[in-house]
Amino acid sequence: MKRLFVVLVSVMLTVSMFAGQAKYVFYFIGDGMGPAEVLATQYYLSQKKGELGITPLCFATFPFTAYATSYSASSDVTDSSAAGTALASGCKINNGVVGLLPDGETRLYTVANWAKAAGKSVGITTSVGVNHATPASFYGYRPSRNDYYELGVQLTESGFDFFAGGDFIKPTRDDEPSHYELAEKAGYQIVRGYDEYQAKKNVGKPIILLQKEGRGDNIPYAIDAKDDDLRLDQIVTAAIEQLSKNKKGFFLMCEGGKIDYGGHANDAAACFGDVIAMDDAVKVAYEFYKKHPKETLIVITADHETGGLALTGGSYSINTGVLQYQKVSKHGFSEVLNKLRHDKKDKVEWADVKAALTENFGFWREVKISHDDEMALYDEWYHSFQTNEKVKMAESLYYRDEPLSDLAVKVMARCAKIIWPVGSHSGIYVPVFAIGAGAEQFTGQIDNTDIPKKIAKAAGYKVKQFK
Ligand SMILES: [Zn+2]
């Protein structure tokens, strides 16, 4: 009888230990997505409908929330590689480095490695280059995040099961083998675009899903995307299909990488459009969660905030609803202006530019602009198109833009009554949202290095940080 009791208790203990373990983990990282970007997007969704208040994003409704500090080993304001490494490995490192401790030598293991060691399938996905800082932080280790060639090589050596993103950044170097050759040699199948993925999804090899040929190394902003551009929600759909083949479960990291590009460019319509695009990808994960609620964990966070976005124009109102009339990103409008230059053989009149501004920003039609802003736009047209002086391009981290496009987006921000004080990162908290098995760990003030450890605890991974 006593022995039976002992057996029963140990069976019950084992069951309770494994009940609710996160067999499936979704880890979303909105690059540059601080609390203001999340909230402003929700104000925007309401104002678009002519209402005050917020229309919640799917992930903002998740029951557990925390604020995470994100300072790195070298600065209170982190960059994406130090933050990505903290979110991946649970260790703080110096800005600009990927996967190596400040001693410059000790290589870090990541939650993706821990998941793999636990027998799970692993997917690393993004809307930017597959060897850009955030995705690389999950498989790579280099003294500089700009070592794109080496990081791409490390991707092909990772042994992970699924990758997706825009493309490899700098896939070739001198006469060394390209990332594509190395990937194929390592047994990966490269698939371009969602159509080709549909046709080849059962090839039986691990897949690297990229944009169609010739479309650059990152997926366009949602605001600029064509119908056949790859989308983050398609990437998560494909990742689930591929990774669920393993009956032991999976770990999937998905980065909304262009939110940060929008922040660096101080382009609210582009930035918020990509917050919504990531939320659409979260919705795919949430549908999966609803089918496996006891065995799925979804965590959404950011690596840092970008642009220092302030939800005030200096008066007691914001007006983000006007952003619905912006039809292209700042960079997209630079291309519109370039085309005008080309088509009009350098004889671009104010009426042409005014028509393009109305078409792409709603100025003078749906969006009223001040006399001062109109004069500033006129002056910039004169300067850019009527004088022979060399046009000084507006530089942000990822783009060089026409100054008139830069100014149009600044006018848009004034109309929306929001302020972007800087074009770099800020040191504000990053938000954390969680639902599912183990989600109750994500509350209060935590540090970004706690997040992968909490995921490991929820999923039963063994934490091994150093190689
Ligand atoms: Zn950034």
Q: How far is the CA of 30 from the centre of ligand 1 (A)?
A: 11
For residue 36, report the distance from its CA to the centre of ligand 1, in Å: 16
Q: What's the 261 CA to ligand 1 centre distance in angstroms? A: 7
The pLDDT of residue 388: 74
CA-nearest of 48, 35, 158, 47 to 98 is 158
SS3 of 201, please?
Answer: coil
pLDDT value of position 17: 44
Rounded-to-integer distance, Cα 268 and Cα 36, Å = 11
**140: CA distance to ligand 1 center in Å?**
18
pLDDT tens for 179-197 read: 999 999 999 999 999 999 9
> How many whole angstroms from 399 Cα to the centroid of ligand 1?
12
What percentage of the chain exceeds 90 in pLDDT? 89
* pLDDT at site 339: 94
Conformational region of residue 369, where left means phi above 0, alpha means psi within -120 to 50, and beta covers everything else: beta
Q: Which of 224, 162, 166, 218 lies closest to 188 in space, CA to CA?
A: 162
Spacing, Cα 13 to ligand 1 middle (Å): 46
The per-residue pLDDT for 393 is 84
Size (the chain), residues: 467
Question: Across 33-166, where does the E strand assignment appear?
Answer: 64-69, 121-126, 162-164
**How many angstroms separate the alpha carbon of residue 28 from the centre of ligand 1?**
16
The partner residues of 98 in beta bridges, in order of sequence, read 142
**C-alpha of residue 214 to centroid of ligand 1, in Å:** 24
Give pLDDT, residue 357. Answer: 98
The pLDDT score that the predictor gives to residue 5 is 56
Angle formed at CA 426 by CA 424 and CA 427, multiple of 5 degrees: 150
Which CATH number applies to 22-311+423-459? 3.40.720.10
Exposure b/e, 389-419, CB count within 10 A at least 16 = b:
eeeeebebeebebbbbbbbbbbbbbbbbbbb
Cα 452 to Cα 89: distance, rounded to the nearest angstrom: 7
| Helices within 298-449 (DSSP H only) | 330-343, 350-361, 371-381, 403-416
The Å distance, Cα 379 to ligand 1 centre, comes to 31
> How many Å lie between the centroid of ligand 1 and the Cα of residue 271?
12
**What pLDDT is stored for residue 6 in this prediction?**
55
Q: How far is the CA of 52 from the centre of ligand 1 (A)?
A: 31
Ligand 1 geometric centre to CA of 264 (Å): 7
Distance 246 CA to ligand 1 centre (A): 34
Cα of 57 from ligand 1 centre, angstroms? 22
Q: How far is the CA of 22 from the centre of ligand 1 (A)?
A: 30
Question: What's the CA-to-centroid distance between 132 and ligand 1, angstroms?
Answer: 11
Q: Using one digit for the tens of pLDDT, what is the confidence trace for 420-465?
A: 999 999 999 999 999 999 999 999 999 999 999 999 999 999 999 8
Q: How far is the CA of 306 from the centre of ligand 1 (A)?
A: 6
Tell me the CA–centroid distance for residue 15 and ligand 1, in Å.
44
Q: What are phi and psi of 394, to 5 degrees?
A: -85, 120
For the chain, residues with pLDDT lower than 50 are 11-19
| pLDDT per residue as tens digits for the range 30-65 | 999 999 999 999 999 999 999 999 999 999 999 999
Extents of the domains making up the chain: 22-311+423-459, 320-416
Averaged confidence pLDDT in the chain: 94
Q: Given this model, what pLDDT does residue 390 score?
A: 79
Q: For 190-216, write each residue's pLDDT tens digit.
A: 999 999 999 999 999 999 999 999 999
147 alpha carbon to ligand 1 midpoint, in Å? 17
Compute, in angstroms, the gap from residue 313 CA to the centroid of ligand 1.
24
Q: How far is the CA of 417 from the centre of ligand 1 (A)?
A: 23
**Cα 82 to ligand 1 centre (Å):** 11
Measured in Å, residue 383 CA sits from the centre of ligand 1 at 31
| Distance from residue 385's CA to the centre of ligand 1 (Å) | 32
Query: What pLDDT shows up at residue 331?
Result: 96
Expressed in angstroms and rounded, the spacing between residue 225 Cα and the centre of ligand 1 is 21
